[in-house]
Amino acid sequence: MSIIYIRKKFGTTLKWLMGAIALTFLIGAFYSFGGSTTSSSGNGANLSREMATVGGKDLPREAFNKEFYRRVAAYKEQAGGQFKETDAVSLKAQLLDEMSEKMILLQEAGRAKIKVNRKDVKKRIDEIKKSFPSDKAFNERLKGLGYDINTLRRELTDGMKIQALVDKQKQAVTVSDADVKKAYKEQYKKEPAGKDFDAKAKEVRERLLGEKQSAALTKWMTDLRKKADIQVADAEIRGFKHMSDKKDDKALLAFAKALKQDPSNPYIASIYYQVGQIYERKNQPAKAGDAYSKGLESGRSSADLHMALGNIYRKQGKRADALRHYKDASDMAYADFFMHYNLSGIYKEMGMQVESADEEKRAQEIYGKQMAQMMQQQQQQQQQQQQQQAAEKSKAAGKSKTEAGAGKPATDGK
């Protein structure tokens, strides 16, 4: 399953709130994610110590790699136990954007002298702990995520600072009565007066406020990014960004540098895949096929590489070679129902109806299982939220009862 699919299904917040996203991601990890987050990142003797420089401050490679492997573990959990090798480069680029924006927002929070009360952080940690049956279970989850209590406290503090900063920006946005009347007239095509306007004015105001806040925050974050002067040091991510901007020659140079700097990169297949995609875009299938083959030769085989190479061979009329790689792609696709659907269509075009039907059946089975898993995860999260809300409501009711009792006048018992 691709990262793009995961994002669509599990949802994201606006990009300008990456610090708060990190906070949400972190808290969600305690409820949903499992597995080890540690992994070898290769020797990389020639790699820079920093991934990027943001606002004059370095983003350390070590810190980036730790978070990257946490994300990989989380996506594996959400995607039914699979992380596509070829998604690694795009995930790294996305993560660099998130961590850079978090640094920018924290720098801005420092300039705004925003502080977070330690008691509020402790309260948030206590809320997380309540969802676990014991302190031991909580600490095991911490360890599984590669955290300790101090790291958790620091991450929560940063997230709360950013949330306070964003809230401050949102509070500066206002909606006038004239704005509401204008928006009502545009939406309902009638004059803003009478009972209908009175009934809908609040709804229109809230919608308008949300739109204006979103636009203001987006502009604000864009301005902050420009001022921060982000310099990406990592060649792999520079290559992906050039590729996204369709600067293919620059992307190829950056990817070549990344391959030379870190030949033991555990996700090196992802780089070769991107190189192959560029050559396909440049209409150079031979070079594309060579890149895919090198990716497979690196020992980091993947369904996407087999699929891409199979497509090259099919276009070249090498049916036997194409079928061999399609079979390997199917065998390695595991829970990737998109891959099986694609293979179903290819087999159908090749006149292989039995194989096409088999792939379609596998795709449907996988899709059904993943939808059931997602529904179960959502239900569990909803139950946890309901339990927490009920506990808070009960606690508040008990407190009110105690205060009410304390306020009653004393009697002499007569």
Point out which residues pair with 379 in neighbouring strands.
Answer: none
Report residue 409: phi and psi, to 5°.
-70, 145
Q: What pLDDT score was predicted for residue 160?
A: 94
Kindly state the tokens that stand for 55: 């606002």
From the candidate CATH numbers 1.25.40.10, 3.30.428.10, 2.60.40.10, 1.10.3720.10, the one assigned to the domain spanning 301-379: 1.25.40.10
* Res 76: pLDDT: 76
Mapped onto helix, strand or coil, the DSSP state of residue 342 is helix
Common-topology check for domains 3-173+218-231 and 301-379? no
Residue 155: CB partners within 8 Å, gap ≥ 6? 22, 23, 26, 147
pLDDT value at position 401?
Answer: 65
Contact 295, 273 (CB under 8 A): yes
C-alpha distance from residue 140 to each of 30, 129, 268, 289 (Å) = 10, 12, 31, 45
DSSP string covering 250-307, please? HHHHHHHHHHHH-TT-TTHHHHHHHHHHHHHHTT-HHHHHHHHHHHHHTT---HHHHH
Say what the pLDDT of residue 403 is: 63
Predicted TM-score (pTM) of this structure: 0.74
Predicted local confidence at residue 33, as pLDDT: 41
| DSSP, residue by residue, 52-67 | EEETTEEEEHHHHHHH
d(CA 185, CA 188): 5
How far is residue 214's CA from residue 293's CA, in Å, rounded to a whole number?
A: 45
Q: pLDDT tens, position by position, for the chain (414 residues)?
A: 343 333 333 333 333 333 333 444 454 445 444 444 444 444 566 789 999 999 999 999 999 998 898 888 877 776 455 678 889 999 999 999 999 999 999 999 999 999 999 999 999 999 888 888 888 988 888 887 778 899 899 989 999 999 999 999 999 999 999 999 999 999 999 999 999 999 999 999 999 999 999 999 999 999 999 999 899 999 999 999 999 999 999 999 999 999 999 998 999 999 999 999 999 999 999 999 999 999 999 876 789 999 999 999 999 999 999 999 989 888 888 777 788 888 889 989 899 999 999 888 988 887 888 788 778 777 877 777 777 677 767 776 776 666 666 555 555 544
Predicted pLDDT of residue 83: 77
- Hey, where are the domains in the chain? 3-173+218-231, 234-283, 301-379
Q: In the CATH hierarchy, which top-level class contains the domain 3-173+218-231?
A: mainly alpha
